Structure 1
Amino acid sequence: MTMIPRTRSALYRAGLGTLIASCATPLLADASSYSLDELVVVGNRAPAQISQVPGTVWVLEQEALETQFKSGQDLKSVLGKLVPGLDLAPQGRTNFGQNMRGRSVLVMIDGVSLNSSRGLSRQFDSIDPFNIERIEVLSGATAIYGGGSTGGIINIITHKGEAGDTRYRTEASASSGFNDSEDRVFRAGQSISGGNDRVQGRLAVATQRNSAFYDADGDAIMPDITQTDLQYNRSLDVMGSVRLQLDDLQSLELLGQAYDSRFNGNQGVYLGPNLSTIADPEIRTGYKTDRAPETDRHLVNLNYQHRDLFGHTAYLQLSTRGEKASFHPYPYIRQNMAQSYVGASLQDTTQHNLKGLLVKHWGDWQFSYGVDLDREDFKANQMIFDTTQALQSGAMVTEEDFTVGRYPGYRVDGVTAFLQTEWQATERLRLNAGIRQRHSSLEVDDFVPTQQQIDVQRGLATGADAIPGGENSYDVTLVNAGAIYNLTASQQLWTSFSQGFEIPDPGKVFGRGSYSLDNGYYTLNDALDVDSNTLPGLKTHQVELGWRAYEASWEAQVAAYYTWSDKDTRVTDTLQIDVVDAKTRDYGLEASLAYRISDQWRAGAQGHVLRSEVKNEGDWDKKDARYASLPSAMAFVEWQDARTQVRLQGNHAFDIDDDAGNEIDGFTTVDLQASRELPVGRLGMGISNLLNNDYLTVWGQRAQMFYGYDKLFEFQGRGRTYTLSYTVDY
C-alpha cells in the first residue's frame, strides 16, 4: 500500500483525480507526461496533486493488491486489512458493519456509486479482483459526493487497455484448507487488450467457484441464512472498456460490466421438522429452493473530456447501474401459525446519473463547479414458499407458492450544484473551500403490507386497503474547508472541516400502517402519510488534523479526527416522522508507518483507535456493540528481490463492549504471502490464517445479538487455508 509516491518528484507528478462520482479516469493537461496509473482519488473532483489534498489518502496499488488477491484474500478482506480506518471484513456476502471511522462508506467503480438509498451492504460483491487495477481511499466525511460518504470514499479503478500490441493475461488459482473434498475455491480469468494512439480497449472474463468453508477445528462453517453466504457460490464478471482519443483535446471512454454472484449447490441448514431443532441446526445435503441468494449487477459508464472548452477543462459522465439482490429463504414465525411463512425477498434497484464538471485555472486560483443529476428506482417482492413443505423439511425444500410485495416501490430524483475553490496563498500554504447544494424529491407507491398480502392470498382475508403513497422533497447544504502547509519538501500538515449526509431508508420507513380485520377485510385505520412526512438529509460533521511524510527510507501518515451528528429520524407511535435530537460522535486516530530497512527488506505497521458514543440524558454512553467499529492494528515484514517476494502480515481486531453489557471479542490472524517470477509467468502462494486461530467473526457475534439462536448464527472464521495461483502475460 502506498499513501503517496515515495520521492518528492513523484509527489508532484502524481495526479490525484479520477473524479469520484463525477468522471472516471480523466486525462491531465499533458497526456504524454502522465499515465492513468498515476491518477488517484481526490476530494475536489478534479485532477490535482496529492500534495493538494487536505485529507487522509490511501492508495492500494496494483502490485500490493495482486500480492493479497493471489494469496486467497477477497476484496473486502484486503480493504479491511490494508486501510487503517476501515473495519476488518465479514466473511460472508454482506459487508454490514464494515464502516470507516465508525461511519458509512461510499463505494464506487470508476466513479459510479454502488450505494443506494436502500442499504443492502453488498457493495463489495460487485467485481472480480481480476478486473481491479488499484483502489483509492479517502478517509472521513466529505461534502463533495453527497449521500453515503460520512465515513469515507472507496473508488475501485478497473483495468483498461493501453496502446501497443495485443496483450493477453491468463490467471488461475485454487484454495483449500484440506479438511474435506468440498473444501475448495477455484478462480480463473482471461483478458485481451491493446490498441493504438487513437483507440485502446480491453475485454475480460473472470469467474470464481466456492464450495464449503471450514474453521480452525476442521468443522464446516454454518451458512448465513440472514444476509446470505458465499459458500457454494459461483460468480461471473464480464467487463469491457474502450477509449477513443477523438482529437488533441477530446477523449471518450466507455465501460460496460455484467456481474453475477449466486448460490450454486445443494448444501443447506437443516432446522428440523417444524423448526424443532432451530436452536441446534446442522448442515445437510438435499437443499432445494426456487429463490437462491444472488447478486446480479450491470453497469455502463460513459465519460467525455474536453481540455479546452471556453478556457475550462470539461468533464461529462453518463452512467447507469442496475442491481438485483435476492436473499436466503427465512422462516417468519407469527403467534398465529396460519399467518407464519417461509419467504425470501428480491430487491431491485436501478440508478441513472448525469454529472458535469468544469475546471478553471486563474493564476493561483482553481475553480471547480458543476451539476449532478441522478434518479433511483426501487422495487421489491417476497417469494412465499409452500409453508407445509418448507417446515416439514426443516427449511431444506422451499418451492414457490406465490409472490407478494416486500417494500413499497419508490423513486428518488436528485439535482445537485456544487462549487469548489482552491487558492495557493503562499509557496507553502494552500487553502480550499466548497459548497454543495442538493434538492431531492421522493415518490412512493401505494402499498399493501406483506402480511396482509399473504393473508389475502391464503384466503384468511378477502382484501386489504392500500397504504397511500405520495410525494415529498428535501434540501441539504454541505460545506467543506481545508488547509495544507508544507513543513519541508517532503512533509506536510493539513486540517479540514467537512460535512456528509445520509437519508433514512424510504423502503423501511414508509409503507407502515395499522389495520383492523372487519368481516374478513383489512381496513386501514392509520398510516404514515408520505406527503406530510419528509425524510431529511441527516448531516455528519468532521474535523481532522493530519501529518504525512515521505523520506528516502520511510513514509508515514497520521490523522486525528472528531466526527459528530446531532439529528436522527424516528417513526412515532402515531405514525409520524419526527426529527429528534440524537447526538452521536466518533473520535480517533489512524496512522501508518513503513520503513525500508535495505534494498530487499521492508517493514511497517498501521493502526486505528477510536471511540464511538451516543448521548443519553446528558451523558456520553458507548455505542451499541452491534453497530460500533472495532479498533484494529496491522504489522508486516516483507523481503523482495528481482524475482521473488515474501510477505508476513498480521492483523488484530480489539475487543469492544457497550453499556448494556454486549461484547464483541476481537481476534488475530496472520497471513503468509509469496510470489516467484518463472521463465514464463508468475507463481503466487499464500497461507491465510497461518496460525490456524479459532475465532468467531464479528458478523457472527452481531448476528447472535440481532437474532438469537447462537448455534444457528455461529459464523466461525475460516481456518488455515492454502492458495496457489499462476498468472501469465503474453
Structure 2
Amino acid sequence: MPFQKKHLSRFIAAALLAGPAWAQQTTQFDTVMVTGSRSQAQISDLSNSVRVIEKEQLEQQIKAGKEFKDALAQLIPALDLGSQSRTNAGQNMRGRAVLVMIDGVSMNSSRGGGRQLDGIDPFNIERIEVLSGTSALYGAGGLGGIINIITKKGEPGRQLELEAGARSGLNSSDDGDLRTGLALSGGNDDINGRLSLAYGKNRGAYNADGDPILMDIAQTSLQYNESLDLMGNLQFRFTPEQSLSLTAQYYDSKSDGEHGMFLGDDFGGVTEKDPEQLAIRGGVDSDRSPRTRRDFLNASYHHQNWLGQELYLQGFYRSESFNYHPFPYVNGTAYDNVYAYAASQQNTEVFGAKLALVAKPLERLSLTYGVDVDRELFDATQMYFDLDQAKQSGGLTMQEDVTVGRYPGYRVDSLAGFMQLNYALTEDLGLNAGFRHQRLSNRVDDYIAMNQQIAIANGSATSADAIPGGEIDYDVNLFNAGLVYDLNASQQLWLNYAEGFELPDIAKYYGLGNYGAADANGHLPLLDSVDVAGSPLQGVETQSWELGWRLSDGIWDAQLAGYYSLSDKTISYDRQTLSVLLKDDKRRIYGLEGDLSVWLHDDWQAGVGGHWVFSETETTAGWRKLAVTEASPSKLTSFLAWQPAQPWSLRLQAQKMFDLRDDDGNKLEGYHTVDLLGRYQLPVGTLSAGIENLFDRDYTTIWGQRAQVWYVPYYGPNELYDFKGRGRTFSLTYNVKF
C-alpha cells in the first residue's frame, strides 16, 4: 500500500486540540500535519486540500520584509491578498471567511473584528498548517478554510536566538520600520521551555510616487505603530506515554499615540470641501488610540495509552481588546457636515476545553470521538470626543465627551460532541466519515440604542426604553465524508463532502430600534426593534463538495482541486448603518485552486499557484455576481528560486490580483507586484535581504478599494479611503543562534 491510512484517526483527534508537531520531510506526502494536539497525520492520509508552510518558508518571506498577511497570501493559493494594514477583514479563503487558530485554539469570535492575524509576531511561529474549504470537524465558522499557527517550543539543550531587522523605501527620515526578537530555550528530555520577546516599531509608509500612504481610519493602520509579543512555554514529559504542554502569551500592538490623520480644517477633508487637506500629522492628543491587546493561555495533555486509547485534553483562555481609529460621522443627506467624532473599543473573553479519544476497535477501523465546550463574552463601548476641539484640530485632539455602549453585550455558550471514523476499504482506498452535533446558546443583554444613550448623556432626554434582549438556542448537525485513492506511489485522488454552519455578526444584528419623541418626562419610547424574540438571528448552513489530485515525487510537487459550496442564505451589510442584513437568497461559490513546483536543476526551482473563483447569490431575477465588498478576486502567484549549497539563496516572486466586477457596477482593479528575496550565510549568523514591489508599481490595495465601496459617501470621500500599496521597499534582517 503506497500510503498508510492508519494515521488519519490521529489527525482527526488533532483537528480538535492543539500542540506541537515534528516530522522529517522527504516528499510532500510524508509531511506530518497537525491541526490540533500532538497527534500527527501525513498529508497522504487526508481527503482535503492541505498544505504545510514550514518555518524556513515563512522566515524567507518575513526576514526579507514581507508583512505577515502578505506573506501568507504568497504561500497559500486560495487566500486573498493582504490589506497592508492591521485588518484581515475580507481576506477570504475560497471566497469565504477563514478560521484562524494558534496551537489549535480559535482566534475567531462571534463579533469578527478582522484582527485574527494581528495576534502573534512571526518570530514566534514554528509552522503553519492550512486546510482549504469547509471542515465539519471544527463546528461553526471558518467556511473558507483553516489557518492553524503552530508556535515555537523549547527543545533539549540551551539556545539563544537574536534577530534584528529594518525596512525602508528611502523616501524620508520617517520612512522606516524596525523589528527585533530575543528567545531563550533549553531543558532536557523531561522538561524544556522557551521564553521569547519580539518587538516592532513602524514609522510611515510611502507609495510608488514617494507620497505618504494615508492611515486606515476604517480598520486602523500599522503605520506609526509599536508591537510587543511576549511568549513563554513549558513542555513536561512525565512518562514515555504522558506529556503536558503549557503556553502563555501577552500581545500588544498599538499606535504610538503621537501621529494620526489630519482631516482638514473644520473637517474639510472629510466633507469634500477640500480632500487634499488629508494628511498624516504629529501632535495627536487622544483619550482612545488604535490598539490590539491579547492575553492567551493554553494547556494540552496527551496520554498515548489511556485504557487502550489515546487521550487528548486541552484547556484554553483568551482575552482581547480592540481599539479602533476615531471615525467621522457625516450628515446623511448632503454629506457636508461632521456631526460626531468617535472611536469604539470591543472586548472579548473566551475560555473552554476539548477532549478527544482515539480508539481502534478493528484492524482496519479507527474511531475518534470527544467533546468541545467553550464560552464567549462580549461587550463594547463608543467614546465620543468633544466635537469643537476635534474640528479645530482637524481630528487630532480627541478629548472624551461621553462614552456609551456601542453594541449590546452578549454571551455565547457552545457544547459539541463528535465522532469520526476511518476505514481502509482496500489497500489503495480509504474512507473517512463523521458527524458533529453542536448546541449554541446566545444570551443577548437588554440595550438602549446608542443615539438614545447619547441623548440621555447630553441632557436632551432623561430615560429610554431598552431594546429587549433574550436567549436563543441553535442545534447544529454537521456531516462529512471523504475518499482518498492512491493512483500510484506518487499520486492521489480525493473526493470530499463537508457541511458548515455560520452565525452572522450578533453585535451588528441586534440592538437596532426606532424610538419616538420624548414625552413630557423626557422618556424616549421604543416603537419597534430588532430583538431576540421578534427577529431572532438565523444561522447559515453550507454544503461543500471537492474533487482533488496531488502529486509528489521529489522533483514535482502539485496539488489541484475543484470545489463547489452552496449556502442557504446570504449575509450582507447596510452601507449606511453598517448593520447586518440576512437574506434568504442562496449563495454559491465555486472555483479551482492549485499550485505546482518543480526542481529544474539541483539548484533551481520554479513554481506557480493560483485561485480562480466565482461568487454568486440567487435572487428573484436569477443568479447575480456577489458584491465586490464580499466576493474574492482571482489571483496568481509565481516564483523562481536559486538555492545552491551555502551560503547564497535568491528568490524572485510575483503576485497578481485580477479585476473583479459585480452587477451593481462596482469594480476592483487588479494589480501585480514583484519581489526579490535573498539570504547569505555568514560565518556567524544569517543575513536576509529583500526588495518588495521591485518595479515600484502604483496601486490601491484590495482593502483600500473595498473600503471606498463600503464607506463612500456616507463616511467621507474616496480620498479618505484610498489606501495605496507600498512602493519599492528595501529590507535587511540579521539572525543568529548560539
Which has the larger displacement, 223-232 or 636-645?
636-645
Tell me the equivalent position of 2:693. Answer: 689
Tell me by how many angstroms 1:456 deviates: 1.1
Tell me the equivalent position of 2:19. Answer: 25
In 2, Cα distance between the equivalents of 1:184 and 1:314? 49
The amino acid across from 1:516 in the alignment is G
Tell me the equivalent position of 1:305. Answer: 302
Tell me the equivalent position of 2:58. Answer: 65
How far does the alpha carbon of each residue in 1:191-221 deviate from its partner, in whole angstroms, 9 at most, with x for none? 0001111001000000100000000000000
Tell me by how many angstroms 1:339 deviates: 10
Counterpart of 2:219 (choices 227, 233, 239) is 227
Tell me the equivalent position of 1:348. Answer: 347
Counterpart of 2:166 (choices 161, 170, 174) is 174
The amino acid across from 2:81 in the alignment is L
Tell me by how many angstroms 1:274 deviates: 2.8
Tell me the equivalent position of 1:473. Answer: 473
Tell me by how many angstroms 1:285 deviates: 2.4
What root-mean-square deviation, in Å, do the aligned CA atoms of Structure 1 and Structure 2 show?
2.5
In 2, Cα distance between the equivalents of 1:25 and 1:423? 26
- Alpha-carbon spacing, 1:9–1:27, altered in 2? closer, same or farther (3 Å): same
Task: Tell me the SS of whatever aligns to 2:454.
Answer: helix
Tell me by how many angstroms 1:538 deviates: 1.3
Tell me by how many angstroms 1:521 deviates: 2.1
- Alpha-carbon spacing, 1:12–1:475, altered in 2? closer, same or farther (3 Å): closer
Tell me by how many angstroms 1:394 deviates: 1.5
Tell me the equivalent position of 1:728. Answer: 736
- Aligned residues of 2:20 and 2:153 also touching (Cα < 8 A): no
- Aligned residues of 2:611 and 2:634 also touching (Cα < 8 A): yes
Tell me the equivalent position of 1:392. Answer: 392
Tell me the equivalent position of 1:144. Answer: 137
How far does the alpha carbon of each residue in 1:322-361 deviate from its partner, in whole angstroms, 9 at most, with x for none? 1100001112235699993211000000001110000012
The amino acid across from 1:727 in the alignment is N
Tell me the equivalent position of 2:153. Answer: 160
Task: Tell me the SS of whatever aligns to 1:94.
Answer: coil
Tell me the equivalent position of 1:240. Answer: 232
Tell me the equivalent position of 1:82. Answer: 75
Spell out the pairing of 1:211-610 with structure 2 (5 A cutoff). 211-278=203-270, 279=272, 280=275, 281-334=278-331, 340-361=339-360, 362-517=362-517, 518-519=519-520, 520-531=522-533, 533-568=535-570, 580-610=583-613
Which has the larger displacement, 286-295 or 110-119?
286-295
Which has the larger displacement, 14-23 or 328-337?
14-23
- Alpha-carbon spacing, 1:414–1:718, altered in 2? closer, same or farther (3 Å): same
Tell me the equivalent position of 1:5. Answer: none
Task: Tell me the SS of whatever aligns to 2:72.
Answer: helix
In 2, Cα distance between the equivalents of 1:646 and 1:47? 32
Spell out the pairing of 1:204-215 with structure 2 (5 A cutoff). 204-215=196-207
In 2, Cα distance between the equivalents of 1:80 and 1:27? 23
The amino acid across from 1:56 in the alignment is S
- Alpha-carbon spacing, 1:233–1:21, altered in 2? closer, same or farther (3 Å): farther
Tell me the equivalent position of 2:27. Answer: none
In 1, Cα distance between the equivalents of 2:140 and 2:673? 34
The amino acid across from 2:727 in the alignment is G
Q: Does 1:108 align with 2:93?
A: no
In 1, Cα distance between the equivalents of 2:573 and 2:500? 23
In 2, Cα distance between the equivalents of 1:16 and 1:619? 44
- Alpha-carbon spacing, 1:302–1:45, altered in 2? closer, same or farther (3 Å): closer
- Aligned residues of 1:559 and 1:590 also touching (Cα < 8 A): yes
Q: Does 1:625 align with 2:617?
A: no
- Aligned residues of 1:513 and 1:528 also touching (Cα < 8 A): yes
The amino acid across from 1:718 in the alignment is R
Task: Tell me the SS of whatever aligns to 2:516.
Answer: strand
- Alpha-carbon spacing, 1:577–1:140, altered in 2? closer, same or farther (3 Å): closer
In 2, Cα distance between the equivalents of 1:110 and 1:702? 31
In 2, Cα distance between the equivalents of 1:268 and 1:149? 34
- Alpha-carbon spacing, 1:508–1:214, altered in 2? closer, same or farther (3 Å): same
Structure 2: unaligned runs, 5 residues or longer: 25-29
The amino acid across from 2:690 in the alignment is G
In 2, Cα distance between the equivalents of 1:546 and 1:268? 48
Structure 1: unaligned runs, 5 residues or longer: 1-7, 32-36
Tell me by how many angstroms 1:506 deviates: 1.4
In 2, Cα distance between the equivalents of 1:501 and 1:89? 25
- Alpha-carbon spacing, 1:350–1:532, altered in 2? closer, same or farther (3 Å): same
Give TM-score, length-normalised by structure 2: 0.93
Q: Share of identical aligned residues, percent?
A: 47
Counterpart of 2:191 (choices 170, 186, 199) is 199
Tell me by how many angstroms 1:702 deviates: 1.0
Tell me by how many angstroms 1:17 deviates: 4.0
In 1, Cα distance between the equivalents of 2:380 and 2:198? 29
How far does the alpha carbon of each residue in 1:71-98 deviate from its partner, in whole angstroms, 9 at most, with x for none? 0112111111110000011111111110
Give TM-score, length-normalised by structure 1: 0.94
- Alpha-carbon spacing, 1:338–1:66, altered in 2? closer, same or farther (3 Å): closer
How far does the alpha carbon of each residue in 1:166-200 deviate from its partner, in whole angstroms, 9 at most, with x for none? 10000000000000100000000000001111001
Tell me the equivalent position of 1:676. Answer: 680
In 2, Cα distance between the equivalents of 1:456 and 1:273? 30
- Alpha-carbon spacing, 1:727–1:578, altered in 2? closer, same or farther (3 Å): closer
In 2, Cα distance between the equivalents of 1:294 and 1:384? 17
In 2, Cα distance between the equivalents of 1:424 and 1:543? 21
- Aligned residues of 1:473 and 1:534 also touching (Cα < 8 A): no
Tell me the equivalent position of 2:653. Answer: 649
- Aligned residues of 1:42 and 1:53 also touching (Cα < 8 A): no
In 2, Cα distance between the equivalents of 1:688 and 1:338? 40
Which has the larger displacement, 521-530 or 415-424?
521-530
- Aligned residues of 2:292 and 2:321 also touching (Cα < 8 A): yes
- Alpha-carbon spacing, 1:73–1:338, altered in 2? closer, same or farther (3 Å): closer
Tell me by how many angstroms 1:13 deviates: 9.4
Task: Tell me the SS of whatever aligns to 2:239.
Answer: coil
How far does the alpha carbon of each residue in 1:496-528 deviate from its partner, in whole angstroms, 9 at most, with x for none? 000111101111111122111223321112233
In 2, Cα distance between the equivalents of 1:378 and 1:310? 40
How far does the alpha carbon of each residue in 1:639-693 deviate from its partner, in whole angstroms, 9 at most, with x for none? 1122211000011000010111110001111010000110000000000001101
In 2, Cα distance between the equivalents of 1:270 and 1:339? 14
Spell out the pairing of 1:113-128 with structure 2 (5 A cutoff). 113-128=106-121
- Alpha-carbon spacing, 1:374–1:532, altered in 2? closer, same or farther (3 Å): farther
In 2, Cα distance between the equivalents of 1:405 and 1:302? 34
In 1, Cα distance between the equivalents of 2:319 and 2:14? 19
- Alpha-carbon spacing, 1:194–1:12, altered in 2? closer, same or farther (3 Å): farther
Q: Does 1:190 align with 2:190?
A: no
- Alpha-carbon spacing, 1:257–1:187, altered in 2? closer, same or farther (3 Å): same
How many residues of Structure 1 are paired with residues of Structure 2 in the alignment? 713
Counterpart of 2:710 (choices 706, 709, 715) is 706
- Aligned residues of 2:34 and 2:41 also touching (Cα < 8 A): no
Task: Tell me the SS of whatever aligns to 2:69.
Answer: helix
In 2, Cα distance between the equivalents of 1:26 and 1:726? 26
- Alpha-carbon spacing, 1:118–1:13, altered in 2? closer, same or farther (3 Å): closer
- Alpha-carbon spacing, 1:579–1:643, altered in 2? closer, same or farther (3 Å): closer
In 2, Cα distance between the equivalents of 1:536 and 1:713? 32
- Aligned residues of 1:19 and 1:41 also touching (Cα < 8 A): no
- Aligned residues of 2:18 and 2:37 also touching (Cα < 8 A): no
- Alpha-carbon spacing, 1:512–1:621, altered in 2? closer, same or farther (3 Å): same
In 2, Cα distance between the equivalents of 1:481 and 1:468? 42
The amino acid across from 2:365 in the alignment is W
- Alpha-carbon spacing, 1:580–1:688, altered in 2? closer, same or farther (3 Å): closer
- Aligned residues of 2:347 and 2:379 also touching (Cα < 8 A): yes
The amino acid across from 1:690 in the alignment is L
